[in-house]
């Protein structure tokens, strides 16, 4: 899955970048490896918690960022250069719990500020005009709905694939519009994949399609 590869690498970079000058190469490798794993684990966990994060932003910058702060409390050494990034080593390098304690407090403070500021900013917008996009935009993604990438809709809600073959039509009276959108989306993916001569599995194709701003849906 290309999104796993990209987000895993980004999570590793987020984890090590800020402290790369005050850890050894072996420690940097360990920090980056754990950061990639934390990112992918978070990417799997968030949908189970009802968090819609199709491109993995929270996982890469939030989860891997939190691990980066913890890793600083574990691995850093005292910076003896004029930059003086750190004034004492981390827990595993004989510095005791002081730096680790400070890092945990910092994580909690950042989380509290972020959640509070986001809520106070976004909740009024949600009450006034709403935050969520239309369900069809969520499922098919902005690339298709707004730019006709990989397919298009006409004025009568008929869906066409990338070679302009008719896939189907959204039923305006469907009891479950989300399920209807998911059904058509999967059909569209299979049509496009078949015409390209690809051999991706439905589950992989669906996951890749969601990365452009759509919502991952289960293969059927």
Q: Kindly list the distances between the CA atom of residue 75 and the CA atoms of 14, 29, 30, 78, 144, in Å, as whole numbers in the listed order.
A: 16, 12, 10, 10, 45
pLDDT of amino acid 205: 40
pLDDT of amino acid 148: 86
pTM of this prediction exceeds 0.75 = no
Query: What is the rounded distance in angstroms from the CA atom of residue 2 to the CA atom of residue 185?
Result: 19
The 8-class DSSP code of residue 22 comes to G
pLDDT of amino acid 83: 74
pLDDT of amino acid 216: 41
Query: What is the rounded distance in angstroms from the CA atom of residue 163 to the CA atom of residue 197?
Result: 14
**pLDDT tens figures, 161-207:** 988 999 999 887 888 888 989 899 999 989 988 877 654 444 334 43
Is residue 215 within 8 A of residue 179, CB to CB? The reply is no
| Local mean pLDDT, 10-residue blocks, the chain (220 residues) | 89 91 91 96 89 86 95 87 78 88 95 96 93 84 85 89 90 85 90 71 40 40
pLDDT of amino acid 198: 52
């Amino acid at each position: 899955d290309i999104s796993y590869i990209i987000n895993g690498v980004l999570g590793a970079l987020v984890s090590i970048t800020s402290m790369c000058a005050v850890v050894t190469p072996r420690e940097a490798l360990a920090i980056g490896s754990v950061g990639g794993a934390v990112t992918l684990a978070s990417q799997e966990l968030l949908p189970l918690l009802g968090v819609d994060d199709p491109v993995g932003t929270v996982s890469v910058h939030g989860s891997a960022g939190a691990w980066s702060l913890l890793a600083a409390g574990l691995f850093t050494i005292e910076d003896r250069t004029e930059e003086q990034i750190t004034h004492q080593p981390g827990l595993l390098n004989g510095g005791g719990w002081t730096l680790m304690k400070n890092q945990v407090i910092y994580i909690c403070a950042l989380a509290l500020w972020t959640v509070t500021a986001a809520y106070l900013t976004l909740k009024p917008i949600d009450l006034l005009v709403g935050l969520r996009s239309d369900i069809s935009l969520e499922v098919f993604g902005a690339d298709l709905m707004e730019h006709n990438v990989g397919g298009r809709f006409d004025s009568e809600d008929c869906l066409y694939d990338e070679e302009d073959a008719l896939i189907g039509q959204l039923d305006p009276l469907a009891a479950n519009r989300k399920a209807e959108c998911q059904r058509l989306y999967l059909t569209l993916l299979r049509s496009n994949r078949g015409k390209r001569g690809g051999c991706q599995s439905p589950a992989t194709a669906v996951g890749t399609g969601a990365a452009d701003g759509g919502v991952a849906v289960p293969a059927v």
